[in-house]
Amino acid sequence: MKNHRTENSVFPATKRSRKLIFLSILVAGSLLLGKASQALSGDVAGKSGGHGSSHETFRAAVSPVSETTAGTHFGWMVSFAGHDPAQAYTQTAGELMAAVVANELTDRERLQKWICMVEKRAGKQTLTELQVETRDGPLYRLLAIDGAALNPGQQQQDDARIGRLMKDPRPLLKLKQAEDEDERKLQKLMSLMPQAFLYDYDGVEESLLRVKFRPNPGYNPPTYEARVIHSLAGIILIDADHKRLAKVVGQLLNHVDFGYGLLGRIDSGTLELGRVEVGPQEWKTAFINIHFSGRAVLFKTINKDQYERRSDFRAVSSNLSLSDAKDLLDSHTPPRTQIVQSSN
């Protein structure tokens, strides 16, 4: 994973003072131009959507550092940690997000598969698994429950589960079909992001560019899934060097009805996604934390309450069979005595 630590540039005191004064003048000028633009246009922000108190409450909660209209022609000057503050980042937030989405969609077309460690919540339990992606779907071996290594009986049950899948992979193929359908939906939703939201720069967080997003009042969601996504607002962290999405934190602003509530309803919800660089121009989702309350199910393989962490990504063959995947799991699984010792 890319190291985001940076070093501050050191300037002589006089040069630093001059640059700070220069930047202050630029920022003040940008703010004055922004206010003048709003006055001449009849306070565009006040007419742009009627987000109401929910949006204002959310804006107060996230404590914005800086703000600009996504469609502004001025751009916004953002200084990155470790860079010369005089070097300005002038691309608008909306333009940057379009580039980020294009890169994410290109990455999703790759056929590379991975083996990784997975920690997830299932009911009241926390499960630790070693999972490998195959051409027939994901195969995993259960390693621990609530941080404790499996006892002999649990190990036998897990071995038997994998043995059944080797003989009859239909449950795995069904899961793969559901995942493929969800992936198509996610790709479609991601392609709509530049149009569905308005974006504002919001400073820098741990050398990642921070961008606020909120629903675009002029956008008409074409599907139920898009309606739910369009009702979110929050923060996106972007690796500006690679123009890649590193983190998304969103909150549902309003409840969403389907078929006037007869087909389903989502009353509230939050989501948090984290992405990490696992190879050259390749990123994977390493963290999922989703909580939605309601009666609608949007994705077949994503629960309304889901917590999952993934780590230690290693590339495997893009055409891995189930038999090869089982051998790979066996070779990467620590000896049972070692699992017991590490869990104590």
**C-alpha distance from residue 343 to each of 140, 151, 251 (Å):** 19, 12, 36
Least confident stretch, 20-24, 144-148, 154-158 = 20-24
Q: Per-residue confidence at 182, pLDDT binned at 50, 70, 90?
A: confident
Nearest CA among 127, 138, 133, 128 for reference residue 169 = 138
Give the pLDDT band of residue 296 (cuts 50, 70, 90).
low
What's the mean per-residue pLDDT of the chain? 75
pLDDT per residue over 58-89, tens digit each? 333 333 333 333 333 334 444 444 443 334 45
Task: Count up the domains in the chain and report the number.
Answer: 1
- How many whole angstroms separate alpha carbon 303 and alpha carbon 297? 8
pLDDT at 208: 95
Q: Write down the pLDDT at residue 36.
A: 38
Q: How many CA atoms lie within 13 A of 322 on its CB side?
A: 17
**Residues 93-131 pLDDT 10s:** 999 999 999 999 888 767 688 999 999 998 899 999 999
What are the residues facing 292 on neighbouring strands? 269
C-beta separation of 182 from 300 below 8 A: yes
What does the pLDDT read at residue 256? 85
Distance between CA atoms of 187 and 197, rounded to whole angstroms?
A: 16
The arithmetic mean of pLDDT across residues 43-49, rounded, is 37
Instruction: Give the residue-averaged pLDDT of 278-288.
Output: 89
The one-letter amino acid at 144: A
Most distant CA pair in the chain, distance: 75
Span 287-310, mean pLDDT? 80
Nearest to 69 by CA among 52, 48, 83: 48
Mean pLDDT, range 25-43, rounded to an integer:
38
pLDDT of res. 268? 86
Q: Which domain, by its residues, includes 84?
A: 1-344
User: How many angstroms separate the CA atoms of 30 and 74, rounded?
Assistant: 8
Distance CA 148, CA 170 (A): 30
* Contact yes or no for 171/205 (Cβ under 8 A): no
pLDDT at 14: 40
Q: Give the distance from CA 164 to its chain's centroid.
A: 34
Over residues 42-51, mean pLDDT: 38
DSSP H or E run through 192: helix 170-196
Q: Record the pTM.
A: 0.69
Rounded distance, CA 92 to CA 201, Å?
A: 8
Type of residue found at 278 = V
**Over residues 233-247, mean pLDDT:** 95
Q: Which tokens sit at 55?
A: 């949006």
Query: pLDDT band for position 334 (50/70/90)?
Result: low
Structure tokens at 327: 């051998």
* Model confidence at 307: pLDDT above 60: yes
CA atoms of 194 and 184, how far apart (whole Å): 17
The mean pLDDT of 211-233, rounded to a whole number, is 92
Per-residue pLDDT averaged across 162-189, rounded?
88
Min mean pLDDT across 86-90, 211-215, 258-262, 302-306 is at: 86-90
Q: Which residue has the higher pLDDT, 144 or 31?
A: 144
